[in-house]
Amino acid sequence: MLESKTSIEDLQKRIYDLAGKVSRLNESREELVGMMANAAVSLKEAAEQGEKDVARIQELEQALENAPWVPVSERYPEEGIPVLVTNLHYANPSILAALVNLEEADGVSGWCWNQFDGTNLSDTGSYEFDDDYIYTHWMPLPEPPQEKN
């Protein structure tokens, strides 16, 4: 009879231990469910932002396709007229505002430009010769915005 009582006590202890483990597993499961819900929200937000980014990239690509870029191989801009310039030969082409001047530098004829400094375009002689900065395309500056009355 004692053996049966010991066995019942052992079983009760095991059941108690298992109940504790089940409780901890349930807590862990609830924590995991919460983490998964947060991850799902983050993924949804990232997907929405990605869709916005793709739409903006497509918008900019379309604007670039519609932009009146003129290849330098066709013609240069008028001397002293501010323009936008870019170089499509580089991996990450940039667009700069520039003032183009046809000049001779170091005995080589070519075109030089004055970069926009954030305030104005000027012909101060602080230009770079095109051997260092080979621009492939240019376009006129857009019209400035009009003030509303």
Reported as a single tens digit per residue, the pLDDT across 40-60 is 999 999 999 999 989 988 887
Q: Is the pLDDT of residue 90 over 70?
A: no
Average pLDDT over residues 116-140: 60
State pLDDT tens for residues 56-65: 888 877 876 7
Query: Is the overall model pTM greater than 0.75, yes or no?
Result: no
- Predicted pLDDT of residue 126: 47
Bridge partners of residue 38, in order along the sequence: none
Helices (H) and strands (E) in the chain, counts: 1, 6
Q: What is the pLDDT of residues 130-140, one digit of tens each?
A: 455 667 888 88
Tell me what pLDDT residue 87 has: 76
Question: What tokens appear for 62 in the block?
Answer: 């379309």
Mean pLDDT, the chain, integer: 76
Question: Residues of 26-38 as b/e, b for ≥16 C-beta within 10 angstroms?
Answer: eeeeeeeeeeeee
Burial of 127 (0-12, 13-18, 19+ CB in 10 A): buried
User: Each residue of 114-125: b (16+ CB within 10 Å) or e?
Assistant: bbbeeeebeeee
